[in-house]
Structure 1
Amino acid sequence: MTEIAAVGQISYADRLAALHESKQRQTFEKQQLRGAMDFDDHAIILPPQETRETMLVLGGSGVNFTDVVMNTFKPVPNHPSGGFFGPRSTGENFRRLLEVHPVYIDPMSSLAGAYMANFMSYRKVAWNPDIDCADLLKEHQKYQTVPAIGGVQHMCQDMEFGLKLGWGGVLEKIQHYRAMNKDSEDFYAGLEHIVLGMQNWIRRHAEAARSMAAEHPTMEQNLLEIAAINEHLVSNPPRTFREACQWSLWYQSAARMYNSSGSLGRLDMILLPYYEADTKAGILTDEEAIFHIACHLVRDTAYIQLGGPDLQGKEATNRLSFLILEAAHRLRIPANVGVCVGKNTDPRLLRRAVEILLEDRCGVPKFLGVDNTIEGFAANGFPMELARERVYAGCHWLAIPGREYSLMDIVKVNFAAIFEVAFRDMMSNRAVEPSVAELWRHFRKHLRLAMDTVAKGYDFQYEHMHEVFPELILDLLCPTTIERGLDASNGGVEFYPFGVDGAALATAADSFAAVEERVEKQHRLTWQQLLAHLDANWSSPEGERARLMMKNSSRFGSGGSLADEWAVKIARAFSETVKEKTTPKGFRMIPGLFSWVLNLSMGRNIGATPNGRRAGDAISHGANPDPGFRKDGAPTALAVAVAAVQPGYGNTSPVQIDLDPGLSHTNEDVEKVSALIRGHFELGGTQVNINVMNKEQILEAHKDPRKFPDLIVRVTGFSAYFASLSPQMRQFVVNRILCEA
């Protein structure tokens, strides 16, 4: 693609380089002040220095982290506990935050704005103490299950709905239905406060851009254009491609600020009408489109799907799909772009995606098994047309834009904890003769009990979350929430297929296999000796010998092994248990296998396990075998193993692959990696995450991350700067890469 001059003598390449440099500087500042960030590389920037305060907070995905808050904003509580709850108070407080939020305009960017606050960090009381859930949370703790209670976002808005209406149109819709649904006054008041806050935020940027124009003569034209665009967008819908990018960025920034929501969906389809109209009118070139998209991506790492079928099943890959890929390629920063791969998808898109993956070595993009997730979702009883409407919108999950509330990637069922409870339950029962068959019976029993608790937790969330912290930002772009006067978490949308992810599959499978092999078949240990070693956490020389013996038994992923059989057996039992009944209120649940970055914390309170794992160590990662599952770490074996354990209902079970750094973006290597991806999906896989990482570099970076500020790794469903991760998370990534690359 030929680059043309941008503004004055500053080319688009120079402007992107400046934006990249700013991104690096802002990231380094966050690392210095906030410390470890074991989650998405959010594009949040620090507020002005004189307003900064640091505090430990709970993030939108349930992970504690150090945040920087603005001392210029103090939420107004509406409860004696000091918390603010419900739609009206939440909306009022978010509006207050927007109205004091600093203006940010980078003259090099074609788009205004950046967010500097996490609204959830100001929630000093996360749950209304008047709504008691203590007993239900205790039930979850028995099995170390991550509950739905208090979960936020993890759904996808209908961006096309917002672009069509604009903020003024959304406000009119709220006011129209507010007059009709008198019982929902607080809900509509909360929504209206947020829209008014958004309009204030945008208006102040328009004013600032116009004032800045005289101070930056080289970028004067750009700043005046930013001013005019945002003056229009205060109330009106976007008319051009650039305006649509700006409107989308405002919404995404607010959604990230509100509760870390990063769903965006099919950006190549959302922006396509604007792209086609502008290129036809001769007011937009591909270079300009790439630049505007890059200006969007540098300010938010939203989850984007490229390609895939339309509602009728026709492949929808288009020119814009390639331009979005190109924008991510030129930026070379963490990004969450997913490329669809299926029987009818455009093979050129896969090829270009793999070329970029191998050339950039940033773990971008990821690959989506679109045929299998569509067929899987339809297996729940949904029409194929509806299944095709679902889009990639989060780490490993999909959702129907504006129509589905499923909390995918929130609930985690810990197979290692269930194994531990089952094993000790069996061993404590003197009326039972220990055996693998008996252990499996106990495992199935406790898996059902854990799922009963999960189901009750989902019903509780549905009944009460709207009273605590409603999904107001997402509600704005869900047409039926406004029409019904109901929050998305409480009947405002059409579909509620709740997601349930299994975790620690390899830990449980390898433990079952080790017990069957070493205790029951070979009689190398008795059941009581095994129990004693687990109680002692493998201490003493004899315990260490026993640990190594158990660890070196059959492993999931080695191919045709006893542990492979156990992995399939556990995955099927989990899927059957999730699907065999609904929640007490009648909501269906959808199984997947994914641990996000919780494999460290989910192992912290679990004792030693028969696979040789020590007490407190991490559980296995998602659907992947444990590192070192076979000596060659063959990617094909890994892909085959994970394909075999897919639940098959539209909630994914990604495979994480770490490839040899000797691969390049030659035709031969591109085809090898493409074949690996296609092969996994042909076997039933649903999602592929890939790193191409040099062992020596990753080891050196682990010793001193500051030497490699640009090093990006795909941690799991997201990519991040390696230097932003905690030492524990860096070690986890290093272990995986050393064993598999």
Structure 2
Amino acid sequence: MEKYLFYTAVTICCDAAHVLANRYADECLKKAETVDDEARKKELEEMADGLRWIADNPARGFREACQAELLYIQMVLMAGTGDVGSCGRFDQITGKYLEKDLAEGKITEDQAQEIVDNFFLNISRNWGGGLPELVKIIGIGNTYMHTTIGGTDPQTGKDATNKVTYMVLEAVGRMGLHDPTVSLRMTKDTPKELIECAVETTKLVGGLPLYYNDDVLIPAMQKELGFTLEEARDYALIGCQELTGSGIEYSCCNGIAPPHGSVYYSVVLDMAINNGKNPMNGEQASIETGYLYDMKNIEEVKEAFIKMARYVLRAHISINNFMEYVFAYNLPQAIISMSVEGCMEKGKDVINGGAKYTSFGGTATGLATVADSLSTIEYACFDKKICTTKELYDAVMANWKGYEELQQKLIAKVPHFGNNDPYADKWMTWVTETYYSLCQEMSSHYAKYYRAGLYGAADHVGQGYVTWATPDGREAGKPIADAASPAQGRDKNGPTSVLNSSCCYDHGKFMDGVCLNIRIHPSALSREDGNQKLGSMIRAYMDQGGAEVQFNVVSSETMRAAQENPEEYKDLVVRIAGYSAYFVELSKDCQNDLITRSENVI
């Protein structure tokens, strides 16, 4: 019976795809009858012919390949299952068709570029009004239809760059599109010209593309997820910066029911040093961890954090597993299932474990706030005796009111993550390793592992609203550190120190994705060798084991001017963490968060 229902659902979806493509073809022909321009008339007729063909057949050329992918994405969105999606490896899906059309003289590169432009314009308009509270976190107008370009050929292992790779960057940079997110997969063989093109795009469109390291992630996927070499070479990005297998995996990167993918680890730390009680709302957990002022050494602080983190994560996973049970009946996903390996073979929906691989996971946004807080406790209370644990506890519980002198002294003197300081970086290593180890204890009915991630849209701002003061000097309600980045303004030694610090832990363990944000002052890239220097810095970071990095090339002066005169800066695009947005459409808190991040020169 389950197989019968599944195959029936797939048949309905296939019939719907046939009807939809032909309806669009009809509209193209109707439009063609109303235009006088012969070139436009011919184009509309070609579009209609292509739509008629792909309703029942594989694409014959580049235009049809783009039409087919776009219509499939539209169907995923219409089915209500596209809250977080992906355009996959767009250049690899369509590139072979372009090469064939160019060789046969059926298309010019300019015509192909226009098709790519229109593809991304169509993707970027697939959004509607959002929930007011959620808009503060995810911004306005984000589809999360992540697009992956570049990288490795699955069969040969060689660099897979093609003409479409460059066309995607051209489209995004020239049109100033902040959505969809575009990620560039890099290898040691990535052409120098492509990196220069990507850096130039970054200067035009804040945060795009994201830079990913195949040399770290491909072996990691084999080790952590059990992918074959060929499957790992074909990975793509989904949503913010989550990793997924192409056509082989059902990736519930934020759990089965986003946006419940985050455990608030800064809150966990506050509860750990407050005997299991959340100082923000006064709620007591069913476990007790002791008070900071009774902890005699840093090992006891660590034990309290682990105890609290395990308790909260287990509760979080239990809720996810209950939702997985509910969703299996209430939200089948035939339109996705019919294109994922394993489902048609088994007669099972992805929601019922039909895919070859099923994974789920979540993210730990802002672990640098936790790391800096632990560094503060060790440095100030146990090593340098700047204050007692009781004094630090009282200051945190008072939200630093009346303790401003101590607050500023700690911010100035304690080593912070992001400065290539081993004292601080060892805490980021410990926190990330602890988080990863706890995730390894978790599983669901269909997913063997709970994948750990270090990303989070703009959740660091949202988490900040409900997080009490923390021992690192941060005040209640203020943003925590974003994603895997240093806390705002705490990195003082330039971008190379940030990149060196960020390699203090094994990025290959975080298969739900890593997100490192760095802000560069435009003057650093205005010099003749600016692009080359940034490209060299990215390569050096990846050689050290960095998995991902993204850049905002914008000055504080420009962002403050945009706050004052938004009408003059409507096209200013910035990267928040897991998404890019037009700066003037962000909430004031998100804007200020960007301004407070360290402004670097190369």
After TM superposition, the score normalised by the length of structure 2 is 0.86
3-state SS of the aligned residue for 1:631?
A: coil
1:433 & 1:594 partners in 2: Cα distance? 31
Q: Give the match for residue 311 of structure 1.
A: 154
2:273 & 2:220 partners in 1: Cα distance? 33
Are positions 1:683 and 2:544 aligned together?
A: yes
| 1:455 shift after superposition | 3.8
Cα distance change on mapping 1:263 and 1:469 into 2, 3 Å:
same
| 1:581 shift after superposition | 5.9
Gaps of 5+ in 2: 125-144, 256-260, 276-287
- Of the candidates 555, 561, 576, which is equivalent to residue 715 of structure 1? 576
C-alpha contact 1:513 1:554 (8 A) present in aligned 2:
yes
1:41-80 pair list within 5 angstroms = none
| 1:284 shift after superposition | 1.4
- Of the candidates 100, 104, 115, which is equivalent to residue 292 of structure 1? 115
1:317 & 1:537 partners in 2: Cα distance? 52
C-alpha contact 1:654 1:685 (8 A) present in aligned 2:
no
1:85-164 pair list within 5 angstroms = none
Are positions 1:490 and 2:339 aligned together?
A: no
1:252 & 1:586 partners in 2: Cα distance? 25
Q: Give the match for residue 524 of structure 1.
A: 386
C-alpha contact 1:689 1:717 (8 A) present in aligned 2:
no
- Of the candidates 53, 57, 61, which is equivalent to residue 236 of structure 1? 57
Q: Give the match for residue 695 of structure 1.
A: 556
Cα distance change on mapping 1:296 and 1:586 into 2, 3 Å:
closer
Cα distance change on mapping 1:595 and 1:285 into 2, 3 Å:
same
3-state SS of the aligned residue for 1:648?
A: helix
C-alpha contact 2:207 2:575 (8 A) present in aligned 1:
yes
Gaps of 5+ in 1: 1-181
1:428 & 1:354 partners in 2: Cα distance? 50
Aligned-partner residue type, residue 305 of structure 1: T
CA deviation map 1:515-568 (0-9, x unaligned): 2222223333332333322222222xx322232233332211122153222111
| 1:183 shift after superposition | 2.7
3-state SS of the aligned residue for 2:147?
A: strand
2:27 & 2:230 partners in 1: Cα distance? 46
3-state SS of the aligned residue for 2:550?
A: strand
Cα distance change on mapping 1:665 and 1:243 into 2, 3 Å:
farther
| 1:678 shift after superposition | 0.6
Q: Give the match for residue 217 of structure 2.
A: 373
Are positions 1:253 and 2:74 aligned together?
A: yes
1:579-598 pair list within 5 angstroms = 579-580=440-441, 582-583=443-444, 587-598=448-459
- Of the candidates 172, 175, 179, which is equivalent to residue 331 of structure 1? 175
1:430 & 1:679 partners in 2: Cα distance? 40
2:228 & 2:263 partners in 1: Cα distance? 28
C-alpha contact 2:159 2:187 (8 A) present in aligned 1:
no
Aligned-partner residue type, residue 274 of structure 2: R
CA deviation map 1:297-340 (0-9, x unaligned): 11114322222222242222223322332233332222422222
Cα distance change on mapping 1:627 and 1:215 into 2, 3 Å:
same
Cα distance change on mapping 1:430 and 1:450 into 2, 3 Å:
closer
Cα distance change on mapping 1:318 and 1:584 into 2, 3 Å:
closer
Are positions 1:512 and 2:374 aligned together?
A: yes
Are positions 1:412 and 2:262 aligned together?
A: yes
Q: Give the match for residue 156 of structure 1.
A: none
1:316 & 1:443 partners in 2: Cα distance? 44
C-alpha contact 1:514 1:611 (8 A) present in aligned 2:
yes
Aligned-partner residue type, residue 643 of structure 1: C
C-alpha contact 1:627 1:740 (8 A) present in aligned 2:
no
Aligned-partner residue type, residue 249 of structure 2: E
2:183 & 2:419 partners in 1: Cα distance? 29
1:679 & 1:353 partners in 2: Cα distance? 16
1:386 & 1:223 partners in 2: Cα distance? 38
| Aligned residues: CA RMSD | 2.6
CA deviation map 1:331-390 (0-9, x unaligned): 2222422222222333332222123323x2443222111111112112224433332132
| 1:190 shift after superposition | 3.7
- Of the candidates 83, 102, 107, which is equivalent to residue 279 of structure 1? 102
Which stretch has the larger CA shift, 616-625 or 650-659? 650-659
- Of the candidates 29, 32, 50, which is equivalent to residue 213 of structure 1? 32
Q: Give the match for residue 568 of structure 1.
A: 429
3-state SS of the aligned residue for 1:300?
A: helix
1:549-628 pair list within 5 angstroms = 549-552=409-412, 553-580=414-441, 582-583=443-444, 587-628=448-489
Q: Give the match for residue 88 of structure 1.
A: none
C-alpha contact 2:371 2:431 (8 A) present in aligned 1:
yes
Q: Give the match for residue 22 of structure 2.
A: 203
- How many matched pairs? 556
Q: Give the match for residue 336 of structure 2.
A: 474
1:558 & 1:276 partners in 2: Cα distance? 47
C-alpha contact 2:195 2:535 (8 A) present in aligned 1:
yes
3-state SS of the aligned residue for 1:339?
A: strand
- Of the candidates 495, 500, 506, which is equivalent to residue 635 of structure 1? 495
Aligned-partner residue type, residue 438 of structure 2: T
1:358-437 pair list within 5 angstroms = 358=203, 360-380=204-224, 381-410=226-255, 411-425=261-275, 428=290, 433-437=295-299
Cα distance change on mapping 1:662 and 1:361 into 2, 3 Å:
farther
C-alpha contact 1:268 1:306 (8 A) present in aligned 2:
yes
